[in-house]
Amino acid sequence: MIVGSISENLKFEKRVAVTPDVIKKYISLGLEVHLSKNYALHLGINDNEYENEGAKMLSSDQVLSNSNAILQMNIPNEEAINKLKENQILIGVLNPYSNNEKLSVMISKKINCFSLELLPRITRAQSMDILSSQANLAGYKAVIDSFAYFQKAIPMMMTAAGTISAAKVLVVGAGVAGLQAIATAKRMGAIVFATDVRLASKEQVESLGGKFLTVEGAENLETEGGYAKEASEDFKKKQENLLKETLKKVDIVICTALIPGKKAPKIIKKNMIDVMPNGSVIYDLAASQGGNAELTKVDEIVESNGVKIMGEANILNRLPVSASNLYAKNMFNYINNMFDKEKKSFEINLEDEIIEKTMVK
């Protein structure tokens, strides 16, 4: 049995699904690994490094033709999809909400599609949880990049000439990305505030040294799977008033709030941006799903009343080596769960919650 992966479209995606350090793990399961030539050359990884670990470097067409399971970061383009065959397995971050048409074509061809962002939040799936591994890096990088654009020092500094006050950071959304943003900002000496619709986040925020902003009369808006759900209009109004007052004294805002399968909630309105201090920065990690800030534009820096608002389509293209290393391990753990070691074949067991929840039907 063969697992394969072809190069992504480097205009949009620099991460890869297979790194040299997981090749021997696949081989130990009894699998062959086929990759397209120059697969990760853009990351500074030569084909020799893969071959030395036991992978075969072939043309993209050969990889697609030979492989029983295709491992990708994103959904392949139409040309690659047309070359897939019945009963092949495709695994990646397929984003069914945006790629419904492509997925319908593949399902009609009896290609088995599995989307890793649909993993259930259960203990057994933690080692495969690509949302957590990637969000962790995104939260860190958003803080680093926003601090680079902020034109003042971050920590408090006491000098003979006077004292420089510590920067104040607000993190909107205290999921994995938000918590890492809080931890990174605190390590760099900032004063950190955070808000989230899930009351369970309060303890986590405070354990990292952040101050949790609580909306009066708040209810816990958390799904059974641990994700945030949409807030009521009354909650949104109270949250808006609280944030507007907070933003008057905040230097940097990191937006991380997402609702799976929906557009990102608009939390930072223009009238709220207008009260922020001149020179403030907003980094919107939800940009690709519409943004948490009203003025966010993907891959652009928007300036409004002296406030810079930025958000990239894929911030992890700025940390592709680290992100690929984590994603490749998540992917191997998923394959390890799907591959039957005795039969030496892939088993699509729909009684397994991990397989059933991630299969696109």
At residue 50, the pLDDT reads: 98
Taking the CB of residue 105, how many other CB atoms lie within 10 A of it? 15
Give the mean model confidence (pLDDT) for residues 191-212: 93
pTM (two decimals)? 0.88
At residue 108, the pLDDT reads: 93
Reading the block at residue 74, the tokens are 């994103």
Identified catalytic residue from 47, 62, 65, 121: 121
Give the mean model confidence (pLDDT) for residues 257-262: 77
**126 given a catalytic annotation:** yes
Same domain membership, residue 283 and residue 141? yes
Same domain membership, residue 166 and residue 63? no
At residue 234, the pLDDT reads: 76
Same domain membership, residue 176 and residue 68? no
At residue 218, the pLDDT reads: 56
Domain enclosing residue 279, as ranges? 135-317
**121 given a catalytic annotation:** yes
Can you give the three-state secondary structure of the chain, one letter per residue?
CEEEECCCCCCCCCCCCCCHHHHHHHHHCCCEEEEECCCCHHHCCCHHHHHHHCCEEECHHHHHHHCCEEEEEECCCHHHHHHCCCCCEEEEECCCCCCHHHHHHHHHCCCEEEEHHHCCCCHHHHHHCHHHHHHHHHHHHHHHHHHHHCCCCCCCEEECCEEECCCEEEEECCCHHHHHHHHHHHHCCCEEEEECCCCCHHHHHHHCCCEECCCCCCCCCECCCCCECCCCHHHHHHHHHHHHHHHCCCCEEEECCCCCCCCCCCCECHHHHCCCCCCCEEEECCHHHCCCECCCCCCEEEEECCEEEEECCCHHHHCHHHHHHHHHHHHHHHHHHHEECCCCEECCCCCCHHHHHHECC
| CA gap 214, 197 in Å, rounded | 9
Identified catalytic residue from 65, 132, 304, 322: 132
Whole-number average pLDDT of the chain? 93
Identified catalytic residue from 47, 187, 227, 322: 227
At residue 216, the pLDDT reads: 67
Listed residue (345, 325, 317) closest to 23, CA to CA: 325
Contacts with 11 (C-beta within 8 Å, 6 or more apart), sequence order: none
At residue 263, the pLDDT reads: 85
Identified catalytic residue from 28, 126, 165, 207: 126
Does the pLDDT at position 219 exceed 70? no
Domain presence at residue 123: no
Contact status, residue 248 vs residue 278, Cβ threshold 8 Å: no
**227 given a catalytic annotation:** yes
pLDDT category at 258 given cuts 50, 70, 90 is confident
Does the pLDDT at position 257 exceed 70? yes
Give the mean model confidence (pLDDT) for residues 254-275: 89
At residue 220, the pLDDT reads: 56
Distance of CA 124 to the CA centre of its chain: 20
Same domain membership, residue 195 and residue 163? yes
Q: How many CA atoms lie within 13 A of 355 on its CB side?
A: 14
Point out which residues pair with 193 in neighbouring strands.
Answer: 170, 211
Q: Looking up tokens 């994700």, which residue turns up?
A: 227
Does the pLDDT at position 230 exceed 90? no
At residue 289, the pLDDT reads: 87
Q: How many domains does the chain have?
A: 2
Q: List, for residues 326-339, the tens digit of each pLDDT value.
A: 999 999 999 999 99
Cα–Cα separations (whole angstroms), residue 236 to 84, 217, 230, 259, 272: 46, 12, 9, 15, 13
| CA gap 254, 169 in Å, rounded | 8
Same domain membership, residue 166 and residue 94? no
Contact status, residue 110 vs residue 87, Cβ threshold 8 Å: yes
Does the pLDDT at position 25 exceed 90? yes
One-letter identity of residue 13:
E
Give the mean model confidence (pLDDT) for residues 335-352: 94
At residue 194, the pLDDT reads: 96
Same domain membership, residue 229 and residue 300? yes
Does the pLDDT at position 226 exceed 80? no
One-letter identity of residue 220:
N
**132 given a catalytic annotation:** yes
At residue 233, the pLDDT reads: 75
Same domain membership, residue 307 and residue 335? no
At residue 221, the pLDDT reads: 54
Listed residue (243, 191, 254) closest to 213, CA to CA: 243
Q: List, for residues 125-171, the tens digit of each pLDDT value.
A: 999 999 999 999 999 999 999 999 999 999 999 999 999 999 999 99
Measured N-to-C along each axis, helices 130-149 and 320-338 cross at an angle, to the nearest 10 degrees, of: 170
Domain presence at residue 126: no
Same domain membership, residue 11 and residue 147? no
CATH number, domain of 161, equals 3.40.50.720
Total count of residues recorded for the chain: 361
Domain presence at residue 130: no
Domain presence at residue 128: no
Domain presence at residue 283: yes
Domain presence at residue 127: no
Domain presence at residue 129: no
Same domain membership, residue 207 and residue 147? yes
Lowest model confidence (mean pLDDT) among 102-111, 224-233, 320-329: 224-233
Does the pLDDT at position 229 exceed 70? no
Contacts with 32 (C-beta within 8 Å, 6 or more apart), sequence order: 1, 2, 3, 26, 56
Same domain membership, residue 199 and residue 68? no
Taking the CB of residue 210, how many other CB atoms lie within 10 A of it? 28
Same domain membership, residue 150 and residue 13? no
Torsion angle of C-alpha atoms 216, 217, 222, 227, degrees rounded to 10: -20
Same domain membership, residue 298 and residue 244? yes
pLDDT category at 223 given cuts 50, 70, 90 is low
Give the mean model confidence (pLDDT) for residues 50-63: 97
Domain presence at residue 330: yes
